[in-house]
Amino acid sequence: ARKYGDIACFSLAGNEVYHVSHPDYGREVLITQRAKIEVSALRARLELVLGTGLLTARGELHARQRRLMQPVFRKSRIDAYAGCMVEFAQRASGRWTPGGEIDIAAEMMKLTMAVVAKTLFDHDVEGEADRVSRNLTLLMSYFTRLLSPFLRHALNLPLPSTHRFRRALRELDEVIYGMIAHRLRHPGRGEDLLSLLMRAKDDETNAAMTEKQLRDELLTLFLAGHETTANLLTWTIWLLAQHPEADAKLHAEVRSVLAGRPRIEAADADRLCYTRQVILEGLRLYPPAWFVGRTPLEDVRLGDYTIRKGATVLLSQYVSHRDGRFFDQPERFQPERWTAEFEQKLPRGAFFPFSAGDRHCIGEGFAWLEALLILATLIERWKFDLIPGQVVQPHPTVTLRPGTAVRAMVRTRDSSQAARTRGFDRPGTP
C-alpha cells in the first residue's frame, strides 16, 4: 500500500488480488457497490471448519439468518448480559495470585469463551475451556493452508496433520452438539440465541433449521464471539502494560466511576470515557479482524481501474488504521487522540474494525460492552507487568492473534496511589 498506492494488484497463490487502502475505495467495495460484490473465495474456504454459518453464508441465506439473530443483539438485550460479563471477569481474575505469572492471551480466551457460551447459549463451558482453546489454536493454524487448492485433497489423505485437523474439529463439534442436546433436555426460559435459533422457521417453507445448520451458526458465533474480543483485550492490556501513564489514568477513571461500589454495571458504560478511548486505540493498532475479502460478481470500476469479475479484493484494517494521512504518529499508542472532534473529522472508512455494509459485525454492540466491562473490572483490581525479555509479535491468521504467549506478572493495585492520581476529581471526567 505504501509503495504502490491505494489500489495495488498482485498474485496470491495463483489468484489475482487487488489491495484497496483508501477509505473512499473501501466504501465503494463494502457499501456503494455491494450488490455487485460478494464475500471472497478465501472466506468461503472457511466452510471447511465453520460450515455455512453467518460468517460464510451468502445471498438470501445470509440475509435471513442475520434478520433472525438481530433481536438477540439489541441494546436492551445486550445490557442484560452485563452482570454475567462482570461476574465472569471477577471470577476469572479472582483465581490469580498476586505476584504470580499468567498468559494474558490464554486467560482472555477462556474468559470470553465462558461469557459467550453463557450469555448467548446459556451454557457453561468453563470445564472445557482448555480443550476448546487448544483445538481452536490448531484449526487457526490451518488458515494459511486454506489458500492452497490442494487442501481439500490433502484432508482426504491419511496424514498426521489431517488426523490432527479432523480430531480438533470433531472435539469442537462435540461441544457445540452438546449445547444443542443440553437445550433440548432443558428448554429453560428460551430467551437466548440458541433457543431462538431452535424455534426459528423459514418464512416460506415453515421448516426449522436442521441440526447441521444449527451447528454451523452456533460454531460461527461461538468462535467469532469470543476469539475477537479475547484478542482485543489481550492487545489492549499488552499496550497498557507498556504505557504506565495510560494505565494509571484508566485505573483512576474506573475507581472514580465505581465510587465505592463493588462492580461496574451496564449503566456505567457511557461514563467510562477514557476506557473507551483506550479500547478504540487498541482496535486501531491491533484490529482482531485485520482484513476483509470480497469478490466482484461482474467487472466493477474503482477509481481509474477495472476490477475483473472473480478477482479478490482485499481491505486490511491493520494497514488502513496505520495510515499517516488520517492518523498522526500512526505507530504510537495514543488513546487521547480519540476526541469527538477527531472522530468527526476522520473520513468514513478510515477506521472500520467491525467492517461495514450488509456484513457489518452483528455483534459490535455486544463486543463493545463486553470489552468495556471486562477491561474496567480487571484494571480496577490488577496491574499487569510484562515479563522482561519476551518478544510479542502479531500472528495473522483468521484473526490477529499474538504469535506467542503474552506473559505478565499480576499485582494488586495500591488504592492510595489511585486516589492521588491527578485529573479525576469528578466521577466520569477524564
- Within 186-210, residue ranges assigned H as helices are 193-199
Strands (E), 53-105: 101-103
- Distance of alpha carbon 401 from alpha carbon 78, whole angstroms: 26
Does residue 24 contact residue 353 with C-beta atoms inside 8 Å? no
Q: Residue 131's pLDDT is what?
A: 84
- Distance of alpha carbon 278 from alpha carbon 338, whole angstroms: 9
Which residue, among 93, 168, 160, has the nearest Cα to 133 in the 3D structure?
A: 168
Which residue, among 352, 343, 288, 283, has the nearest Cα to 315 in the 3D structure?
A: 352
Q: Residue 328's pLDDT is what?
A: 97
Q: What is the H or E stretch that residue 181 is in?
A: helix 160-185
What pLDDT, in 10s, does the model give residues 325-360? 999 999 999 999 999 999 999 999 999 999 999 899
**Buried b / exposed e across 275-306, counting CB within 10 Å, b at 16+?**
bbbbbbbbbbbbbbbbbbbbbbeeebebeeee
Most distant CA pair in the chain: distance in Å?
66
Does residue 249 contact residue 274 with C-beta atoms inside 8 Å? yes
Q: Residue 40 burial (CB < 10 Å; 0-12/13-18/19+)?
A: buried
Among all chains, which residue has been given the C-alpha cell 426460559?
189
- Distance of alpha carbon 357 from alpha carbon 316, whole angstroms: 15
Does residue 365 contact residue 73 with C-beta atoms inside 8 Å? yes
- Distance of alpha carbon 284 from alpha carbon 333, whole angstroms: 9
Which residue, among 371, 332, 327, 337, has the nearest Cα to 243 in the 3D structure?
A: 332
SS3 206: coil
Q: Residue 144's pLDDT is what?
A: 62
Does residue 287 contact residue 321 with C-beta atoms inside 8 Å? yes
Q: Residue 424's pLDDT is what?
A: 41
Q: What is the 3-state secondary structure (H, E, C) of 151-176?
A: HHHHCCCCCHHHHHHHHHHHHHHHHH
Which residue, among 286, 204, 201, has the nearest Cα to 237 in the 3D structure?
A: 286
pTM of the model: 0.90
For 361, residues 6+ apart whose C-beta sits below 8 A from its C-beta are 289, 354, 355, 367
Parallel, antiparallel or unpaired: strands 15-20 and 312-315: parallel
Residues of the chain with pLDDT under 50: 415-430
Does residue 60 contact residue 66 with C-beta atoms inside 8 Å? no
Q: Residue 1's pLDDT is what?
A: 93
Which residue, among 281, 274, 273, has the nearest Cα to 239 in the 3D structure?
A: 281
Does residue 46 contact residue 56 with C-beta atoms inside 8 Å? yes
